[in-house]
């Protein structure tokens, strides 16, 4: 894992210089503390901050081809580089390193812009073709690694994180009202946007080519599903066997490193499968890491410890208290670079710190299994709602919701009237692609009521859901309902929030590379061809995945109801009704009014409700965390020019004044 940055100038602009690149790379130092490298060639400058994982001795970047006409910087890993290297060498290509990065320049020589099709990995790439004077930016298929860009006059800037782009005085340090509307709907900006005006995110599965003063965005991969048809192409047993083989191979590839590799152990099915595969199917020594909670509602320590003991792992855990979340939250927002609506990323940043302190740089996680194999409650909700929609007057069918959310203290399915009101929204649109997600989005959009009038005016008639629907593939209406739900989930929550705020950013805050075997594109493509009933069997989630590993994973974990990872939200910032200092300051009327994002009176009412401990629902908690994170983002990246030393300290006392 690393950080990349660069500049492409037109012939009419000043050419990039090393000082510019150095400042951009320096602010990304947490992504690559092991070294830096630069390449300047006329109109282009490439920069790299290295976290050395493969080829420790000769793998410094930028990397070039034999005649130095193609140069590349990579953030991430190419897991199938060994096989690609052997194939390219058999064709006569010469290598001067043992690095996974070097295969990229030779694949480009061999296949041109389609080089990305051959990569199995998680990556953000910048490639410069000096002969053709063209720059190619590429991002992995599911968005595991970030890549942002901005156009300023005749210059194109790009970097792994927004803060490196904000160093350019020509790029405004302003939050984008439209991006706020998207975040307060989907939990994150849409895939092509960032939280900042004029700064774009390269969408997952896309390349951006800049050549002859023009840019071209091209999709090279997407989640896709077959048209809904009866019949089965394979038996469940055959499918389970094939799934097992693909996942074991994905784990094998992702264990490749010249440094020790550990694994997260959450106590759930997905991480249990990954750790069990490492133990039983590879020769890798297994070191596991877990986060535990002082609040029993969120804690899964008994399951974590039970599996660790069964596998005989060297296991380390860190206890997260509410006060820890409050202390680290400002630093978290600085790294995440967007408003967030939950505190859940904070304990994961604490966990990555434990991994780093234990001498590890790489961990495998179970992220992605819920999207690929329909593990979330939202998929069950949508299935019940569609069943209910066929007889909307039924009083029996809504009772199926009572089987959901046994782990929630305040369940949305606990009361009959509320259940019918909440889950009964939009029943007339059961055939629409976003039907399954609309109740969730409606709840999240309640945050919009806290926006200041000026922000509402700037957003105007913009509709985030309508904007998202315009990006959906034309074929989605022919897919099975579950397939539609999975596609929407993959292009909103997964890429925008989970792989960023709970993935790349909290790991890289402590210079840790997280890897996701369940997001191997071969596994996604295989799972997408399976009948919906193989994944969601009745209301039993991830059925085929449980079948595939029935002889390896303990029955208690295999049959355990899915419990999403969560953390205490607004309650983390109060102790006996007293807010921590920086929270009281940022929620003051003067600070709210000065920033201009929110209506002071409405925010004051929300603050008081949370202070009294009366925020028990998702909407109030999301609003509180959303307001707080937006204010912190304003303080750390709008009012303040980012520098390598500007990340808030863990104690967060520097923000209180």
- Preceding amide of 294 cis, omega within 30: no
Tell me how crowded residue 409 is: count the other CB atoms within 10 A of its CB. Answer: 8
* Strand 314-320, strand 287-293: pairing: parallel
Per the listing, tokens 């049959």 go with 559
What is the three-class DSSP state of 192?
A: coil
Strand partners, 71: 64, 128
Tell me how crowded residue 543 is: count the other CB atoms within 10 A of its CB. Answer: 18
What is the three-class DSSP state of 592?
A: helix
Distance between CA 52 and CA 61 in Å, rounded?
10
Is the CB of residue 596 less than 8 Å from the CB of residue 452? yes
Distance between CA 482 and CA 530 in Å, rounded?
11
Distance between CA 529 and CA 227 in Å, rounded?
10
Q: Which of 173, 157, 207, 166 is nearest to 13 (CA)?
A: 157
DSSP 254: H
Catalytic position from the list 2, 434, 580, 610:
2
Distance between CA 275 and CA 505 in Å, rounded?
23
What does the angle CA 619 – CA 568 – CA 503 come to, to the nearest 5 degrees?
90
Positive or negative torsion for Cα 190, 180, 581, 344: negative
Q: Which of 385, 632, 325 is nearest to 506 (CA)?
A: 325
Q: Which of 632, 571, 627, 573 is nearest to 602 (CA)?
A: 627
Structure tokens given for 237: 């047993």
Structure tokens given for 48: 């790299």
Sheet holding 200-201, edge to edge: 36-41, 44-50, 2-9, 155-159, 148-152, 200-201
Q: Which of 238, 269, 537, 499 is nearest to 379 (CA)?
A: 537
Whether 434 is catalytic: no
Q: C-alpha distances in angstroms, 423 versus 269, 388, 398, 564?
A: 27, 10, 8, 19
Is the CB of residue 115 less than 8 Å from the CB of residue 102? no
Q: Which of 35, 56, 59 is nearest to 47 (CA)?
A: 35
Q: What are phi and psi of 73, to 5 degrees?
A: -125, 145
Distance between CA 210 and CA 472 in Å, rounded?
25
Q: Which of 284, 282, 289 is nearest to 258 (CA)?
A: 284
What is the three-class DSSP state of 242?
A: helix
What is the three-class DSSP state of 218?
A: strand
Q: What are phi and psi of 400, to 5 degrees?
A: -60, -25
Enumerate the active-site residues. 2
């Amino acid at each position: 894992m690393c950080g990349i940055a660069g500049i492409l100038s037109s012939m009419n602009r000043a050419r990039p210089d090393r000082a510019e690149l150095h400042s951009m790379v320096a602010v990304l130092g947490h992504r690559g503390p092991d070294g830096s490298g630069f390449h300047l060639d006329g109109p282009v400058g490439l920069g790299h901050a290295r976290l050395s994982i493969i080829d420790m001795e000769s793998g410094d970047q930028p990397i070039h081809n034999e005649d130095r006409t193609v140069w590349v910087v990579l953030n991430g890993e190419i897991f199938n580089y060994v096989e690609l290297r052997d194939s390219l060498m058999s064709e006569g290509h010469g290598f001067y390193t043992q690095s996974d990065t070097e295969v990229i320049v030779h694949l480009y020589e061999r296949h041109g812009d389609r080089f990305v099709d051959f990569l199995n990995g998680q990556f953000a790439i910048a490639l410069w073709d000096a002969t053709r004077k063209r720059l190619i930016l590429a991002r992995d298929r599911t968005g595991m690694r970030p890549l942002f860009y901005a156009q300023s006059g005749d210059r194109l800037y790009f970097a792994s994180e927004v803060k490196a782009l904000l160093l350019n005085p020509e790029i405004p340090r302003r939050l984008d009202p439209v991006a706020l509307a998207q975040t307060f709907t989907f939990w994150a900006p849409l895939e092509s946007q960032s939280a900042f005006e004029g700064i774009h995110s390269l969408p997952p599965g896309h390349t951006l080519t800049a050549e002859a003063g023009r840019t071209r965005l091209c999709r090279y991969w997407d989640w896709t599903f077959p048209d809904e048809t009866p019949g089965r192409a394979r038996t469940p047993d055959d499918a389970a066997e094939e799934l097992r083989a693909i996942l074991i191979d994905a784990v094998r590839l992702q264990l490749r490193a010249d440094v020790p590799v550990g694994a997260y152990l959450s106590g759930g099915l997905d991480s249990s499968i990954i750790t069990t595969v490492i133990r039983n199917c590879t020769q890798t020594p297994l070191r596991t890491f877990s986060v535990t909670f002082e609040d029993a509602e969120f804690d899964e320590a008994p399951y974590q410890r039970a599996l660790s003991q069964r596998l005989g792992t060297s296991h380390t855990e860190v206890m997260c208290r509410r006060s820890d979340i409050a202390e680290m939250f400002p630093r978290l927002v600085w790294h995440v670079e967007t408003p967030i609506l939950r505190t859940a990323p904070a304990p994961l940043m604490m966990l990555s710190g434990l991994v780093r302190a234990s001498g590890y740089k790489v961990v495998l996680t179970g992220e992605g299994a819920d999207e690929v194999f329909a593990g979330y409650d939202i998929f069950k909700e949508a299935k019940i709602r569609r069943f209910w929609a066929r007889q909307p007057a039924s009083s029996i069918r809504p009772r199926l919701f009572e089987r959901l959310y046994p782990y929630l203290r305040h369940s949305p399915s606990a009361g009959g009237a509320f259940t019918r009101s909440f889950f009964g929204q939009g029943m007339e649109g059961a055939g629409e692609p976003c039907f399954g997600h609309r109740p969730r989005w409606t709840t999240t959009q309640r945050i919009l009521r806290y926006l200041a009038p000026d922000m509402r005016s700037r957003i105007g008639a913009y509709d985030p859901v309508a904007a998202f629907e315009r990006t959906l593939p034309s074929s989605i209406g022919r897919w099975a309902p579950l397939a539609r739900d999975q596609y929407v989930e993959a292009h909103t929550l997964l890429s925008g929030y989970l792989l960023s705020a709970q993935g790349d950013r909290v790991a890289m805050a402590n210079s840790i590379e997280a890897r996701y075997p369940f997001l191997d594109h071969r596994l996604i493509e295989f799972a997408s061809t399976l009948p919906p009933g193989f994944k969601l069997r009745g209301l039993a989630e991830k059925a085929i995945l449980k079948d595939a590993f029935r002889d390896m994973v303990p029955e208690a974990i295999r049959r355990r109801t899915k419990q999403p990872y969560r953390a205490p939200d607004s309650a983390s910032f109060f102790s006996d009704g007293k807010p921590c200092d920086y929270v009281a300051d940022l929620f003051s009327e003067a600070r709210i009014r000065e920033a201009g994002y929110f209506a002071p009176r409405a925010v004051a009412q929300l603050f008081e409700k949370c202070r009294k401990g009366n925020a028990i629902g998702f909407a109030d908690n999301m609003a509180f965390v959303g307001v707080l994170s937006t204010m912190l983002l304003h303080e750390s990246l709008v009012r303040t020019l980012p520098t390598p030393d500007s990340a808030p300290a863990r104690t967060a006392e520097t923000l209180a004044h």
